[in-house]
Chain A
């Protein structure tokens, strides 16, 4: 076996492994159970799959280690050093509740208790001038307390540090000198941006995660090295790029939810490969559905992002909307008699009724089984599904109470699930102003391909693409990414009056820092790609839109025009009003060498369905005798009309009547959906 790249996506239940042979572009996948020490499972999975780590050129990795540490509050002893009078910023937050109306539902508590938040006398004003000098004697006294209490990580978070980080820097130096072995970070080095809660929260998440993921990454890297892997471990982050363990201290917080970003990246990759610069990713699993969006080849980013409400992580992150719609989502009749679907899920225990593990209540999986869209088993037959149990559950909980027959009830369950997903998609902001007919829907995850065609119809999206291995698509996303850092600087100025030279100088400063970071990660100058953008808004508005700008900026007018167009597209109108710049953004990319996926010659060699199954579709009055294809039997170039079902090891694809399915040269299924409204 020759040189390969390996991507490992460790989830709560399964560890997915993708292996790409560099010479042939051939992709292999493996799915193994996750282990208590996730590294054991990953390495065992690699060994099972016959990966020789000394042949691996790049090992990239998505992990839930950071997310789990946050949610379980399994965090190292961490302290915060704050400006006196402001030690509660991360607890005060912005005062809002996630559940506005239920007074018995609380926001998650802050990651650090109040007693772990220490205060020191100092103050800098909004222009960066010192109002009160840093009291160094107090810092030394705090060092004593920090040592005595045994903190291993400290976040220094001072007011207005985005305007001047001088006090934070000095405080850090004093603490570092006094506290060898303790990790000290500052809010201004993590995120030099205005708004203390956003910056402090990000800095604190970074500080609590740095020791966790730092240790984890070094341990994994060491074990990979022992097995012959010579390069740096690449860690996927929420911005859709990777980082090496060397810069974990800058962006550990970005490792929270790296797996969700992976799905979005894979979806973008597949869309782009297939000639769709615009695509919607639909990653539907057992309990939830992650929706992402790519417009003009770029994923949509957000800065309003968190693992737990009230504790923002303000690095730009790929915007993924998660809703409680998965195969295991429960269908139920509410107290007034309306049919609902989710967000509660049967989970994997007891699971859907058809699993025969004691689950009584009907789920989407049960409905799909009763409709014949799912066959008698999942995971290549490894998990048998009991259609009688599914039917009983639907009869008891939906069909009976609503006076329907079980098939009608099952159809109703799926239609409601699809409508919920369609509603979620409509709320993905960038959909506004984009013509759905220019989009492709990339359906993956275990259940995405069951629902993809119906959703595409509902949303007037003409094409559904189902990648070759829907169940491990996220892992594939880890294979195909570059090193990425995102830097920003608050910069407030009226666009008409802003001096391009000053903006250019600020960008150059950010670029120097970016190059330094990339160099530290081992990126050669020729492989560095720096992308600039300006956040702009109408003067007086509160939200901004990022507008890409080029290098050697000497005129702000083109950016202003681009902003007007973007506002028109997103919100349906433009204004004849003053425009201002709010922030400078720099995305620094270290290109990793790419290896393409194998292309298969379009050869119309014979293929035939393995079986025929009675399947009910939305529009059909009766079950249709439907050919069932085994995915591995379908060659590139294969084409057939719906109704059809494509079964494979980890997923099932529904091709409804009126749709046509073709297999492309990368072995994606492409479903042309007709009848979209």
Chain B
């Protein structure tokens, strides 16, 4: 230990401290077990939830280690919001509800149930169970309206309210909330499930209080936070002081002019604390892709936790991490700006932080991960005479960024929450009049690099017997394409293609309420991860194995990696490396690649339209962004994207 690090000293004996530290985490884990077994929301079931114990002041004592990343660092804010609202008017037997993103929540869907825990008339803690409810009302099923500019299209805002008062159920309040959603019965079911999980925590805390005494427990509540703060500060203190900055982008402001929307992050390590300054980020935009402070803070903490994975989550961590951000930006939206799509800036923050920590800890480098995407097709199911409403609500996994010495993670859930489960096709086909024709790893989806990104997916579907059906897509990185790092290349743009009535159109990564008829086919893919390191330095043997498994095509092995393979026996997936041709091809690419990034963008777009260049060539080799359907050049976005590619990719290439 040097003079910048300090040892934590518990005022409890060593055993009691460690026993209680673990016991408190176990309680949160028990809550999670119970929520998953009793929930109604399929989003909760697929693990979009979190649980915490908070102290009497609302600070987080323990949060579940398996919780969704996008909730991390927000639960103390919502607990404090309840305390601020109700003050001394909080009693044994009360249960509170809140989903307010303007009070530290994430978005309306994430609804938190809080139960105050008392001992001898004194409030000593709170249990909090947070789950993403399937519907919160608003203009569209699922409550994600990408056209929303303010909260009034989004869903019901729940400031801190009481749903149980001193052990008596406030039926009127619960009903007011439930009746503002599309599935009131399920909403009440989830309210019950989360309340009961908090009650379980209340009983467990009671057991510990009986065994250890209330004074010891209160000390433990405080000291487990002190302990984590100590661990974090020691880790930070062991790193060099310094300041690093970067920028990532949301695709567009639908209400503004064409151009990428910057999210700026500067990280400063000073002594045993770290500050994140988001100054310079774009103002709020005219869609729901804004984040209020809670969601932004979650992105910062989650990005950081990825580099300190073993550090437990509680307010001790949050004390060592400060944030500077001016008001009314895309990462600090205030009421009533729409924020249901907070995950879009959230993921940009998280990936920026991946890059920043990669500078500090190169051995844990991480290029950009694919972006979360949600697809909603809803309407009436004409398979049944009563024409019930159906909702095909779908999300996919994709690739994570290349790493130092390792390819990226293949087909993994997004960094929004790597615990989110991709749904079963068979389950979907039972519930919805939509057939899935393909759900497969997408060849060439991985961003090329010495260590390539992980691979993404392709999913194609056919709409069956429906009436009055519409499709909406809630996605990003159609233009701000998943980037490579340290010379690595981008992966591929997101976006959805719809074919009906004999016409196929590209609808892009963000659209709402497009009518679809029976027989319509739609397909979309997720990006792979960005590449890490120069793809021309990739071991040709690895490229050969990737081709044998169809992760990379024979053609792109040559164009992206400069590796020329010959087919030995296609039946056996056997290929041979043509060493001489590979050397020549790599030299040719080296000589040409900087020039391509500076080539006339309009000309590149014309070649794309003419079919001479495909979408991967345009993005990876020329840094050119188009409307991928019409081939029309996006000049502002292209200029920004090329600047970004220079910084992250070209600057690191050897000639």
A residues near B14, Cβ cutoff 8 Å: 338-339, 402, 404, 412
**Cβ < 8 Å to A, chain B residues 391-445:** 396-397, 400, 403, 406, 409-413, 417-422, 424-427, 429-430, 435-441
A96 touches B418 (CB 8 A): yes
B8 touches A338 (CB 8 A): yes
A103 touches B411 (CB 8 A): no
Sample of 18 A–B contacts (CB below 8 Å): A88-B411, A92-B397, A93-B411, A100-B65, A103-B309, A125-B429, A148-B571, A194-B427, A195-B426, A336-B228, A338-B18, A419-B19, A427-B26, A432-B200, A538-B189, A542-B42, A571-B38, A572-B199
B546 (CB) vs chain A CBs: closest residue: A114
A337 touches B7 (CB 8 A): yes
A103 touches B306 (CB 8 A): yes
The count of chain A contact residues (Cβ–Cβ below 8 Å) is 73
With known contacts A126-B426, A335-B234, A541–B411 Cβ distance under 8 A: no
B572 touches A340 (CB 8 A): no
B18 touches A196 (CB 8 A): no
B residues near A423, Cβ cutoff 8 Å: 22-23, 26
With known contacts A114-B441, A540-B185, A542-B45, A416–B15 Cβ distance under 8 A: yes
**Cβ < 8 Å to B, chain A residues 579-609:** none
A92 touches B573 (CB 8 A): no
A residues near B435, Cβ cutoff 8 Å: 125, 131
- Taking the nearest CB of chain B, how far is it from the CB of A409, in angstroms? 9
B21 (CB) vs chain A CBs: closest residue: A338
B643 within 8 A of A: no
With known contacts A86-B438, A88-B440, A115–B573 Cβ distance under 8 A: yes
**How far is B400's CA from A517's CA once the two chains are assembled, in angstroms?**
46
B425 touches A96 (CB 8 A): no
**How far is B427's CA from A492's CA once the two chains are assembled, in angstroms?**
12
B37 touches A571 (CB 8 A): yes
A145 within 8 A of B: yes
A103 touches B8 (CB 8 A): no
**How far is B230's CA from A540's CA once the two chains are assembled, in angstroms?**
44
Give the B-binding residues of A (Cβ under 8 A): 84-89, 91-97, 99-106, 113-115, 125-126, 131, 144-145, 148-149, 159-160, 162, 194-198, 334-340, 402, 404, 411-412, 415-416, 419-420, 423, 426-427, 429, 432, 492, 538, 540-543, 567, 570-573, 575, 577, 677
Question: Which of B7, B29, B424 is the one whose CB lies under 8 Å from A195?
Answer: B424
| Best-surrounded residue of B14, B204, B424 (most CB of chain A within 10 A) | B14
A residues near B235, Cβ cutoff 8 Å: 335
B residues near A339, Cβ cutoff 8 Å: 14-15, 18
Given contacts A88-B439, A100-B418, 19 further A-B contacts (CB under 8 A): A91-B441, A92-B457, A95-B418, A101-B418, A103-B354, A104-B406, A114-B549, A114-B551, A115-B549, A196-B424, A334-B231, A335-B231, A420-B22, A538-B40, A541-B40, A542-B42, A571-B37, A572-B199, A575-B189
- Taking the nearest CB of chain A, how far is it from the CB of B529, in angstroms? 10
**How far is B45's CA from A92's CA once the two chains are assembled, in angstroms?**
19
Q: B8-40 CB contact bits vs A (8 Å, 1 = yes)?
A: 111001110111011100100110011011111
**Cβ < 8 Å to A, chain B residues 175-190:** 185-186, 189
Question: Which of B7, B366, B420 is the one whose CB lies under 8 Å from A95?
Answer: B420
A126 touches B403 (CB 8 A): no
B550 within 8 A of A: yes
- Taking the nearest CB of chain A, how far is it from the CB of B383, in angstroms? 9
Question: Which of A149, A415, A429, A677 is the one whose CB lies under 8 Å from B33?
Answer: A429
B21 touches A96 (CB 8 A): no
B293 within 8 A of A: no
**How far is B460's CA from A88's CA once the two chains are assembled, in angstroms?**
14
**How far is B188's CA from A577's CA once the two chains are assembled, in angstroms?**
10
B14 (CB) vs chain A CBs: closest residue: A339
B residues near A113, Cβ cutoff 8 Å: 549
B216 within 8 A of A: no
B37 touches A338 (CB 8 A): no
**How far is B418's CA from A199's CA once the two chains are assembled, in angstroms?**
23
**How far is B454's CA from A106's CA once the two chains are assembled, in angstroms?**
11
A residues near B420, Cβ cutoff 8 Å: 95-96
- Taking the nearest CB of chain A, how far is it from the CB of B443, in angstroms? 10
A residues near B39, Cβ cutoff 8 Å: 541-542
A residues near B651, Cβ cutoff 8 Å: none
B residues near A337, Cβ cutoff 8 Å: 7-9, 230
B residues near A538, Cβ cutoff 8 Å: 40, 189
B231 touches A101 (CB 8 A): no
Q: Give the dominant DSSP class at A's interface.
A: loop
With known contacts A419-B18, A420-B22, A543-B37, A95–B413 Cβ distance under 8 A: yes
**How far is B185's CA from A538's CA once the two chains are assembled, in angstroms?**
11
With known contacts A95-B412, A145-B571, A160-B429, A338–B421 Cβ distance under 8 A: no
A101 touches B65 (CB 8 A): yes
A101 touches B305 (CB 8 A): yes
| Best-surrounded residue of A97, A114, A336, A492 (most CB of chain B within 10 A) | A336
Nearest 4 pairs of A and B residues by beta carbon: A95-B397, A85-B438, A101-B309, A102-B309
With known contacts A91-B410, A571-B37, A492–B430 Cβ distance under 8 A: yes
A572 touches B429 (CB 8 A): no
A92 touches B441 (CB 8 A): yes
B161 within 8 A of A: no
B192 within 8 A of A: yes
- Taking the nearest CB of chain B, how far is it from the CB of A184, in angstroms? 20
A618 (CB) vs chain B CBs: closest residue: B15
- Taking the nearest CB of chain B, how far is it from the CB of A52, in angstroms? 50
B residues near A91, Cβ cutoff 8 Å: 410-411, 441
**How far is B21's CA from A337's CA once the two chains are assembled, in angstroms?**
13
B553 within 8 A of A: no
B residues near A542, Cβ cutoff 8 Å: 36, 39-40, 42, 45
**How far is B44's CA from A543's CA once the two chains are assembled, in angstroms?**
12
B440 touches A426 (CB 8 A): no
A148 (CB) vs chain B CBs: closest residue: B571
B397 touches A336 (CB 8 A): no
B468 within 8 A of A: no
**Cβ < 8 Å to A, chain B residues 205-262:** 210-211, 227-228, 230-231, 234-235
**Cβ < 8 Å to A, chain B residues 546-582:** 548-551, 571-573
A residues near B397, Cβ cutoff 8 Å: 92, 95
Question: Which of B199, B234, B438, B549 is the one whose CB lies under 8 Å from A336?
Answer: B234
B196 within 8 A of A: yes
- Taking the nearest CB of chain B, how far is it from the CB of A89, in angstroms? 8
B residues near A196, Cβ cutoff 8 Å: 424-426
With known contacts A97-B419, A419-B22, A542-B42, A85–B460 Cβ distance under 8 A: yes
A427 touches B30 (CB 8 A): yes
**How far is B36's CA from A467's CA once the two chains are assembled, in angstroms?**
37
**How far is B572's CA from A145's CA once the two chains are assembled, in angstroms?**
8
- Taking the nearest CB of chain B, how far is it from the CB of A311, in angstroms? 14
**How far is B227's CA from A126's CA once the two chains are assembled, in angstroms?**
53
A residues near B457, Cβ cutoff 8 Å: 92
| Best-surrounded residue of B8, B10, B19, B29 (most CB of chain A within 10 A) | B19
B residues near A404, Cβ cutoff 8 Å: 14
A198 (CB) vs chain B CBs: closest residue: B424
B residues near A87, Cβ cutoff 8 Å: 440
- Taking the nearest CB of chain B, how far is it from the CB of A511, in angstroms? 26
B66 within 8 A of A: yes
**How far is B14's CA from A404's CA once the two chains are assembled, in angstroms?**
10
Question: Which of A84, A96, A101, A426 is the one whose CB lies under 8 Å from B26?
Answer: A426
A420 (CB) vs chain B CBs: closest residue: B22
With known contacts A104-B403, A160-B429, A336-B234, A415–B441 Cβ distance under 8 A: no
B residues near A103, Cβ cutoff 8 Å: 306, 309, 354, 364, 366, 400, 403, 409
**How far is B642's CA from A92's CA once the two chains are assembled, in angstroms?**
33
A residues near B460, Cβ cutoff 8 Å: 85
With known contacts A92-B422, A336-B227, A542-B42, A149–B571 Cβ distance under 8 A: yes
A residues near B8, Cβ cutoff 8 Å: 336-338
A residues near B228, Cβ cutoff 8 Å: 336
**How far is B93's CA from A529's CA once the two chains are assembled, in angstroms?**
49
